[in-house]
Amino acid sequence: MMLDRSFLHWPFLEERHRALVERLETWVAQHCEHVDHRDVDAACRELVHRLGRDGWLKHSAPGDDPSEKIDVRTLALIRETLARHSGLADFAFAMQGLGAGPISLFGTAAQKAHWLPKTRSGAAIAAFALSEPASGSDVANISTTARRDRDAYVLDGEKTWISNGGIADLYVVFARTGEAPGAKGLSAFIVRGDNPGLSVAERIETIAPHPLARLAFKNCRVDAADLIGANGDGFKIAMTTLDVFRTSVGAAALGFARRALAETLRRAKSRELFGAPLSELQMVQGHIADMAIEIDAMALLVYRAAWAKDAGAPRVTREAAMAKLYATEAAQRVIDAAVQIHGGDGVRAGHPVETLYREIRALRIYEGASDVQKIVIARSVLSSAAGR
Ligand SMILES: Cc1cc2nc3c(=O)[nH]c(=O)nc-3n(C[C@H](O)[C@H](O)[C@H](O)COP(=O)(O)OP(=O)(O)OC[C@H]3O[C@@H](n4cnc5c(N)ncnc54)[C@H](O)[C@@H]3O)c2cc1C
């Protein structure tokens, strides 16, 4: 693959990051290209198993040792590299991190000791259940309830668009406990995949197949010890977890865009048109220049946000929102140009750029749609200019 690796020497990254990418490249070539994607549930289980067996999932969430902390640059590099080869491998890795994130950031010692070794070894598949049919962007409007009943909580309601829905062993579920109206009345719970009160109400098929489901919670009893953090902390737990992982969505988009450029370079150099390679047409060169600039700009925003968090910034809301927004939108443009330069082959089912064209789309919607990221960025910019 024709790849520019010079970004690995940018000041945001360290020697350990370069070494990790080298090892991951070798691993991906051996273990990712040969997964049968026709059954996404089985493919996803297999990828989680392989990623866990070979130690990659350890980077998705810190363990129960308090000295361990998440390295967002490592998360981003792993997602970028996996996404370049397989959208499903990136999805499998990312969901182990997002699903385990609330436990690793806010869980009790007992919750961490029970779940993190399992999510980090691939023995348990994780899911993050926040969205509902009537509250996607409007998270504070969640209507799933959790009612205290002696030493248990009883959950009732619906969650939708849940990645790994139906195959997960661990669901972190956000529900209304009612301490206060809106965002302040939510709490987070651990629900085991085999809980009899949890069922799959609908499997959701999308343009890029991943395991996705709408889930029903009916009289779903969980132990009081399965509450994460305190009652009323649910919104903070969800947003803090997303703050860590949002940058890595930008990294996945960057991986898709790098693959699109690599495919385009191969095609433009090998395809003869009007007696010369396609790469000699200046309008094609114009596309290639735009693609290269956008990829560098994405990478700068993604690794700036990751580095800022790793360097100890208390909040990286603005940086992460910029990275996610810009990288996902620009990757869509880069991939669209790749499809154009491939001509008919660009829309042939199963061609790598056709697959990328479908894979990229949802990233502009989930974990905060692009429009929502703009609001977050504008509020931050306005508040830092307040009083001037
Ligand atoms: C592939 C995929 C995987 C997902 N995985 C998960 C998961 O694992 N767990 C989970 O909890 N959820 C998951 N989601 C859900 C996802 O987070 C929601 O789809 C997303 O938050 C948008 O919510 P919605 O679909 O209800 O759209 P809506 O909230 O109805 O928003 C629709 C559109 O309105 C616009 N909009 C929204 N708010 C504003 C605003 N304030 N100002 C201007 N415009 C606005 C945006 O363009 C947005 O796309 C997933 C979604 C997809 C597509």
Distance 233 CA to ligand 1 centre (A): 22
pLDDT of residue 314: 84
Specify whether the CB–CB gap between 125 and 212 falls below 8 A.
no
The protein residue with its alpha carbon nearest to ligand 1, atom 33, reads 369
Model confidence at 386, in pLDDT bands (50, 70, 90)?
Answer: confident
Reading the block at residue 363, the tokens are: 């990233």
- Mind listing the pLDDT tens digit for each residue in 76-86? 999 999 999 99
- What is the rounded average pLDDT of the residues 107-126? 96
CA distances from 352 to 82, 206, 263, 347 (A): 14, 18, 8, 10
Please report the atom of ligand 1 found closest to the CA of residue 98: 8
Average pLDDT on 149-158 reads 98
CA of residue 355 to ligand 1 center, whole Å: 22
**pLDDT at residue number 330:** 98
Given this model, what pLDDT does residue 351 score? 96
Query: Vertex 325, ends 29 and 58: CA angle to 5°?
Result: 40
Check if 131 has its Cβ closer than 6 Å to any atom of ligand 1.
Answer: yes
Q: For residue 387, name the pLDDT band (cuts at 50, 70, 90).
A: low
**3-class secondary structure per residue, 302-370:** HHHHHHHHHCCCCCCHHHHHHHHHHHHHHHHHHHHHHHHHCHHHHHCCCCHHHHHHHHHHHHHCCCCCH
Check pocket membership of 163 for ligand 1, CB cut-off 6 A.
Answer: yes
Which atom of ligand 1 has the smallest separation from the CA of 130?
A: 11
Ligand 1 midpoint to CA 371 (Å): 10
| Nearest C-alpha neighbor of 70 from the set 94, 99, 96, 105 | 105
Exposure class string for 353-384: b at 16+ Cβ within 10 A, else e: bbbbbebbebbbeebbebebbeebbeebeeee
Task: Say if ligand 1 is within 6 A of residue 172 CB.
Answer: no
Query: Which of 160, 161, 235, 241 gets mutated to test ligand 1 (max ligand atoms within 8 A of its CB)?
Result: 161
How far is ligand 1, taken at its centre, from the CA of residue 212, in Å?
14
Q: Please give the average per-residue pLDDT across 9-16, as a whole number.
A: 96
234-270 and 72-85 are packed helices; what angle lies between their axes, rounded to 10 degrees? 40
The CB of 137 under 6 Å from ligand 1? The reply is yes
| Cα 253 from Cα 267, distance rounded (Å) | 21
Ligand 1 atom with least separation from CA of 165: 8
Residue 369 Cβ inside 6 Å of ligand 1? The answer reads yes
Task: Find out whether 204 and 217 touch, Cβ atoms under 8 Å.
Answer: no
Q: 53 is written with which tokens?
A: 């067996």
Using alpha carbons, select from 246, 243, 191 the residue that is nearest to residue 76.
246
Q: What was the pLDDT predicted at 95? A: 98
State the Cα–Cα distance between residues 80 and 73, nearest whole angstrom: 10
Q: At what angle do helices 352-361 and 317-341 cross, to 10 degrees?
A: 150
Whose C-alpha lies nearest to ligand 1, atom 40?
Answer: 372
> Which of 80, 132, 294, 367 is an active site residue?
367
The answer, yes or no, to whether any atom of ligand 1 lies below 6 A from the CB of 173, is no
Residue 315 pLDDT class (50, 70, 90 cuts): confident
Q: Which mutation among 366, 373, 377 tests ligand 1's pocket best, with the greatest number of atoms within 8 A of CB? A: 366
Global pTM exceeds 0.85: yes
Higher pLDDT, 280 or 5: 280
Asked whether 129 lines ligand 1 (CB < 6 A), one says yes
Residue with tokens 């990229």: 360
Nearest protein CA to atom 27 of ligand 1, as residue:
136
Q: Give the mean model confidence (pLDDT) for residues 248-277.
A: 97
Q: What is the DSSP letter of 167?
A: T
Q: Which amino acid appears at position 354 of this protein?
A: E
Q: How far away, in angstroms, is 160 Cα from ligand 1 center?
A: 10
For the chain, the residue count is 388
Query: Which one has a higher pLDDT value, 360 or 64?
Result: 360
282-310 helix and 234-270 helix, angle to the nearest 10 degrees: 150
Residue type, 275: G
Mark whether 319 is an active-site residue.
no
Average pLDDT of the chain is 96
Q: Separation of 367 CA from ligand 1 center, angstroms?
A: 7
Backbone angles phi, psi at 331, to 5 degrees: -60, -40
Atom of ligand 1 nearest to the CA of 139: 21
Q: What is the pLDDT of residues 196-246, one digit of tens each?
A: 999 999 999 999 999 999 999 999 999 999 999 999 999 999 999 998 999
Say if CB 115 and CB 107 are below 8 A apart.
yes
Residue 8's pLDDT band (cuts 50, 70, 90): very high
- Our answer on whether the CB atom of 375 is closer than 6 Å to any ligand 1 atom is yes
Phi-psi region of 168 (alpha: psi -120 to 50; beta: other; left: phi over 0): beta
In this model, does residue 151 exceed pLDDT 80?
yes
- For residue 374 the two structure tokens come to 């703009």
Ligand 1, closest atom to CA 364?
A: 49
